[in-house]
Chain A
Amino acid sequence: MRHILSILIENESGALSRVAGLFSARGYNIESLAVAVTEDPSLSRITLVTRGSEEIIEQITKQLNKLIDVVKLIDLAESEHIERELMMVKIKTDEHSRDEIRSLADIFRGKILDVTPTTYVVEITGPSEKLDAFVAAVASETIIEVVRSGPTGISRGEKGLHL
């Protein structure tokens, strides 16, 4: 099953490599990884998507908690949460396709970030499946580049992952 782990970690050099190293050393799989500093500059948040049986996810969370740099973590998949991923797609365009891509971007509530005579860059935000759907809707031969952030997530309601 797919799990989305939200990890608060000391914002120190080498901290991310401890997390990545743990996954490779123990044979766990990282599907995506998004990292950025939090409102507290001494802390980073890692949002990591992985797959595995209940036992494997339990081991992953225990092993992550054992890392000295990891301050706290939760498995967002265990409760109600919101997931968002950002994607930018560079698409080859010509006179015929420009309108079609614009309306497709509208349907997906996307934004056109950059326009050249022959290309569009479209930004789409949403759950990962929505991003997949957009890519599927665009003719594949016109796609120059797809850049995705990997999902990030936050739990619903009052509770949150903080110190």
Chain B
Amino acid sequence: MELSGAQILVQSLKDEGVEYIFGYPGGAVLHLYDAIFQQDDVKHILVRHEQGATHSADGYARATGKPGVVLVTSGPGATNAITGIATAYMDSIPMVIISGQVSLPVIGSDAFQEVDMVGISRPCVKHNFLVKDVTKLAETVKKAFYVATSGRPGPVVVDIPKDITDPNIKVPYKYPKKVTMRSYNPAVSGHKGQIKKAVELLLTAQKPVIYSGGGVILGEASAELTEFSRLLGYPITNTLMGLGAYPATDKQFIGMLGMHGSYEANMAMHESDLIIAIGARFDDRVTGKLDLFCPYAKIIHIDIDPASISKTVKVDIPIVGEVKPVLEQMISLLNDSKTKPNKKALESWWQQIDQWRAIQCLEYDRDSLLIKPQYVIEQLYEVTRGDAYVTSDVGQHQMWAAQYYRFDKPRRWINSGGLGTMGFGLPAAIGVKLAFPDADVACVTGEASIQMCIQELSTALQYKTPVKIINLNNRYMGMVRQWQEFTYESRYSHSYMDTIPEFVQLAEAYGHVGMRIDKPHEVRPALEKAFALKDRTVFLDIMTDRTENVYPMIEAGKGHHDMKLRVALGTSTDRELA
């Protein structure tokens, strides 16, 4: 079969099993778009901004576990995609980004819409390729998917000069079934001796904590994590990226940990004598001040990426390997072991944890006359029976969604954890909805974040992706305002906007349903109505308490045991504002 470069790319994507490409055309990719036009197997989703394309592909990847695919043109198309590529990179999301490039003979001449995409993307991709020979195109695409999806996943850019896709130059096509790369051998099952040592240490623990992260979700190991945790009966906490890997409604779950984690999770980490970190990377939002991190604990760390081990926190037993096979081995060792977890020690450990739980760190003023954002998330949880896919943007609303929506299944909570990209939520929700058209998909956002990719409302109409946008509108960049309140004596420097659009009208202008909710008693019926409108995108503009803060909180430079709790309920300026 002889094909042009453009046809080879499209055929390769088809052979790779790609369902959707998220993209935006331009000069350097015109040949590619012409090839896309002439087939129906790979569906192209036309976004309104390339950042939207990357986030939609990312949302699709997070929800399905399959790689997201993006197609952008050279120059500004490529640079607009960078934020989304960096977002995927920080959270280890498999993605393949095809960028157009100016023709080979003019590369380096500052040609129209030329940018060094390989150079610009280098620090935020797992790997990238510049295709210089059309006969290598199919193999390069295969390599890109292989690198993106294996080992610790990540985004891979394939930069394709326009002349490589010339419809008049045809070469034989064969899509490789498999590729090997001598410099890349990602799969590891974990060192048996280390695993045995870890299990022995686990069984001696008096105050153990299981601390698991996004790696469990990426590694499809939720079932193993759950079995492992139940076998031991130890308390388990998830990172922001790991939520849903262990059912949040289970009694062994002690909440998220870290800066806005639960009091009981952070206190347990601080007092613990043994931490087992599973697919987590000791991010600074998790550890707080490193010198104060888990002062009494020995640490076991399972991670597929050796560079994550002992990067910031020195660990006692490192295990480099995929989470799933390592946990399987641990489970079988635990089942065979004569030693069992120390029942008595565990009982008193749980008693201690229950005392911390009794503080009820997530309690808030339920009698407020204003809409509390926490209440909205709780209602969202109930209306969707805890079974929705929830994407979020970045800020206070993200933390509230993480704290109050109890995720029982993996891949349901979709947010930009590492890079913290505002504008992520809506395009990500569109990607999720395309993957799961029958599922409830909610985008929890705020009036600041939503405006960063609001143009994707137009994409949502074109492709009939009826997502529900839960806009917690507090007329502030809430997280910035909160930090300014706590550390800058309430000097609210540029953390509010004087001109916020009428979102209801805006949603309607884009062809969707808009609703404004001002009173707490309106929240539940509005949510029910929104989710009942199965085939419509609904924008719920919910006027929440402007002064609400995210609690509890570990402030900068403090340790897990030093959390700022809500001082007293109902002390906000609710009543004055009402």
Rank and list the top 7 A-B pairs by shortest CB-CB distance, nearest first. Answer: A62-B307, A71-B183, A68-B127, A25-B123, A62-B306, A68-B184, A63-B307
Using Cβ atoms and an 8 Å threshold, which residues of chain B touch A70?
183
Is A106 in the interface zone, CB < 8 Å from B?
no
Q: Which of B122-175 contact A (CB under 8 A)?
A: 122-123, 126-127, 130, 147
Known: A25-B123, A65-B306, A66-B307. A14 touches B182 (CB 8 A): no
Q: How far is the CB of B22 from chain A (nearest CB, A)?
A: 24
Q: How far is the CB of B89 from chain A (nearest CB, A)?
A: 12
A-B contact list, 10 entries, CB within 8 Å: A14-B118, A14-B119, A25-B123, A62-B306, A63-B307, A66-B305, A66-B306, A66-B307, A68-B183, A71-B182
The answer to whether A13 and B307 have CB atoms under 8 Å apart is no
Known A62-B307, A66-B307, A68-B127; 5 more pairs at CB < 8 Å: A13-B130, A14-B122, A14-B130, A55-B314, A66-B305
Name the interface size band of chain A: 20 to 34
Is A59 in the interface zone, CB < 8 Å from B?
yes
The answer to whether A69 and B183 have CB atoms under 8 Å apart is yes
Q: How far is the CB of A60 from chain B (nearest CB, A)?
A: 10
Q: Which of B319-353 contact A (CB under 8 A)?
A: none
Q: How far is the CB of A33 from chain B (nearest CB, A)?
A: 17
The answer to whether B123 and A21 have CB atoms under 8 Å apart is yes
Q: Per DSSP, are chain A's interface residues mostly helix, strand or loop, or mixed?
A: helix
Scan A146-163; emit 1 where CB is below 8 A from any B CB, else 0: 000000000000000001
The residue in chain B whose Cβ has the minimal distance to the Cβ of A70 is B183
Name the interface size band of chain B: 10 to 19
Query: B310 is contacted by which of A9, A55, A69 (Cβ under 8 Å)?
Result: A55
Q: How far is the CA of A25 from the CA of B123 in the complex (A)?
A: 7
The residue in chain B whose Cβ has the minimal distance to the Cβ of A64 is B307
Is A18 in the interface zone, CB < 8 Å from B?
yes
Q: Which of A47-91 contact B (CB under 8 A)?
A: 55, 58-59, 62-63, 65-66, 68-71
Using Cβ atoms and an 8 Å threshold, which residues of chain A touch B305?
66
Is B181 in the interface zone, CB < 8 Å from A?
yes
Residue with the greatest number of chain A CB neighbours at <10 A, chosen from B119, B122, B307: B307
Using Cβ atoms and an 8 Å threshold, which residues of chain B touch A25?
123
Q: How far is the CB of B165 from chain A (nearest CB, A)?
A: 20
Q: How far is the CA of A59 from the CA of B305 in the complex (A)?
A: 12
Is A140 in the interface zone, CB < 8 Å from B?
no
Is B311 in the interface zone, CB < 8 Å from A?
yes
